[in-house]
A and B are shown apart, each in its own frame.
Chain A
Amino acid sequence: MKDSDYSAQLPPTYDKVHRHEMFPETTHDETARFNFITNLNQHLSTVSAGNRLAYEKRVRPDFQKENGRDFNNRHEVNQAFKSDPYWQTWSALRRNTMEMRHQAGRSVVLRQINTLNKKAEQLNAGKSTLQLNPEIKSPRYASAVDIHCQPGGYHTEICEGDVSVGANYDSGIFVTTTGGVGPMIDGGGRAVAKAVQDKFPDFKPKRILDVGCTIGHNVLPIAQAYPDAEVIAVDAGAPVLRYGHARAQSFGVNNVTFLQADVENLDYEDGYFDWIQTTMFLHELSSKSIRHIMSELGRMLKPGGLLLQVEQPQYTPDMDLFEQAIRDWDCLYNNEPFWSKMHGMDAKKIMRMGGFKNENYMEFKAAAETIDGDVTKPAKAVSEDHGREALWTVFGAWKS
């Protein structure tokens, strides 16, 4: 390969991250450490390609020999992979890389925790667009394990007014996505906003609800695309909301209210919202809550309103079992307990739980939208890093 061929695949350096006012400061070496982990993630996607070979050359033939049949489902593939040495090494490296990323982010954030908390306090002071409610407890499915190995989850507060888990989250997305979601880590939100504007030019939503907003990075582009809309961004975690609201202020976005609440019990009247958006949210629920939340979302949406959900692709019968199994990795080994179950569900069935009709169902792909001429154009992955790529499936429906 020529140098120029390699260049096309190199991820952007961490200095390309947009430094909004809340963004944790990084020293030279902290930046370099993030650069290393970004490159390690990029490299691991090439390591991951070897799993396909291990699967075709030994995992699958060995299974067939032993059982006199092929795999029936991804669970059998996952089980068989467990004793394959190539998969083991890749898995050990992948898990370790997640842990390194969190160590790196937390070491940056915790040494300046006092400064960050104070900054957030200043930016948030006297603003009615941040509504916290200390009565809200994170649901068990969000606090039983630390999702994607993020110590403290989305809710842990080390001290009063803490934003550290939000700051750590923000500091690392660029690294885990190898820059694929852009300098403001909002490529997903930009893609959705653009798709909705392009596809439905006559749609002028007045009230928008973003469910499970975390630090609101993907809702800001939507709020900017519809500056006259009143946007409500809900999450159960106080530290991510405090951080997210302060972050929004530093972007000058004022039409988003960050609300601490449990999505299962929102007291908006029926048909209040024109557009309800969820982004990478469904897979973090439990089977019971997904039913209830879907019916709530259906209730709060106005007839003629739009529900859109961004997720990694569902496992459909035509997705091969190898790919399903590799996509399940995050569920089994990166603390995403509901991931596998949710991705195994029929998206139309999920929509029906909210009272949406099959004939109104829509689905499209959205690739991360970055800014024109942006130096952080997503690095082309040499092979697909299943479950992490900056390409999402968007599914949803109009409410009839």
Chain B
Amino acid sequence: MDRIWSVEIMKKLNVDYIADAGKKAKGKRPWFLDNPEVEKVLSITMAVAGELAVARERLDTLERILESKGIMSRNEIESFLPSEQDAQERQLWHAEYLARIMRIIQQDRESLETAPDMNEAVEDLAKEFTKE
């Protein structure tokens, strides 16, 4: 489906449809959790959950269309057995994916494990290196 906008028209109307969509409502925003940072993470998480649902629905549409055209059946998906090679590739994908999203915890652990000289504070170094 076409996006019915063009840069020129948006400029003329002075609309930035991406930024303006998320415009804050006038009035002070209430925060509910003791820690507003946590509330921000909750908000981002819910938005991401929404986008996952959107992707899931799109995939569902795709499967149903393919099925209705006789290209595949959804049962085939349910009974799909990966070959050895497929299985390897998939597990590798999972491992890489998890490492990527869990990076911060890996680094936290590294900071506990590693020798003290891996954790020197940059401010201290700055002082050291800039001493006249």
In the complex, per-residue mask of A24-68: 1 if CB is within 8 Å of any chain B CB, else 0: 010111001101110110000000000000000000000000000
Q: Is the CB of A110 within 8 A of B42?
A: no
Q: Is the CB of A112 within 8 A of B4?
A: yes
Closest to A106 in B: B21
Residues of B within 8 A of A89 (CB): 32-33, 42
How many A-B pairs fall under 8 Å by CB? 119
Q: Is the CB of A32 within 8 A of B54?
A: yes
Q: Is the CB of A153 within 8 A of B26?
A: yes
Q: Does A146 contact B (CB under 8 A)?
A: yes
Main secondary structure of the interface of A (DSSP, over half): helix
Q: Does B69 contact A (CB under 8 A)?
A: no
Q: Does B128 contact A (CB under 8 A)?
A: no
Which of B9, B17, B43, B53 makes the CB contact (< 8 A) with A107? Answer: B17
Q: Does B126 contact A (CB under 8 A)?
A: no
Q: Does A365 contact B (CB under 8 A)?
A: no
* Docked pose: A111 CA to B3 CA in angstroms: 7
* Size of interface on B: residues with Cβ below 8 Å to A: 37
A213 to chain B, nearest CB (A): 22
In A147-166, the 8 Å CB interface with B consists of: 149-153, 158-159
Q: Does B111 contact A (CB under 8 A)?
A: no
Closest to B6 in A: A114
In A100-129, the 8 Å CB interface with B consists of: 100, 102-103, 106-107, 110-115
Residues of B within 8 A of A (CB): 1, 3-5, 9, 13-15, 17-18, 20-27, 29-34, 39, 42-43, 46-47, 49-51, 53-54, 57-58, 61
**Extra 13 A-B pairs, beta carbons < 8 Å, given A35-B57, A95-B30:** A91-B30, A91-B32, A92-B32, A95-B29, A107-B17, A112-B4, A113-B15, A146-B25, A149-B27, A153-B26, A158-B15, A333-B32, A335-B27
Lowest 3 A-B CB distances belong to which pairs?
A145-B27, A107-B21, A32-B57
